[in-house]
Amino acid sequence: MPDFYASKAATALRLINKRGSSIELIKLDETAANSARPWKGPPLTPTEGTLPLKGVFVPPNTVRQFGLSALGLGTQLEDMISMSEQVIIVAQGEVDIREYTEVLDSGSRWGIFASQVLKPGDVTLLGFLGVRR
């Protein structure tokens, strides 16, 4: 069964790389500015960690047309779709996209407020990011 999902993950990656837009996922480095005084928090201008990816932007109603059961049931997913301005579909591999807070797309920043991962067994197929400006 893992070979079946591995081939699906490879197909998803190929299609998203072919049709998707270049984006960067952004997370702020929250490491303390002074390790001897970690309670003072990160520096005033924290550094940003980025993950370059390809992503496919789809309107939330397009995702709804396929049926929520196609992406997995759950109230979090329904809330994500109803509250999103856009849903970005990514094939991030085994990277945990829940750590990222923003998406940079051609100079525009989108805030990530929800994420879902389609991961049957040990293989991550797709990630879904609910974003708003």
Tens digits of per-residue pLDDT, 33-51?
A: 777 877 777 666 666 788 9
- Segments of the chain scoring below 50 in pLDDT: 65-70, 72-75
User: Which pLDDT score is estimated for 75?
Assistant: 41
User: According to the model, what pLDDT value does residue 84 have?
Assistant: 76
90 by Cβ neighbours in 10 Å (0-12 / 13-18 / 19+) ranks as buried
Q: How far apart are CA 90 and CA 55, in angstroms?
A: 5
Domain ranges of the chain: 2-31+41-132
pLDDT at residue 97 in the model: 87
* pLDDT score at 87: 87
pLDDT of amino acid 62: 59
Determine the pLDDT at residue 2.
64
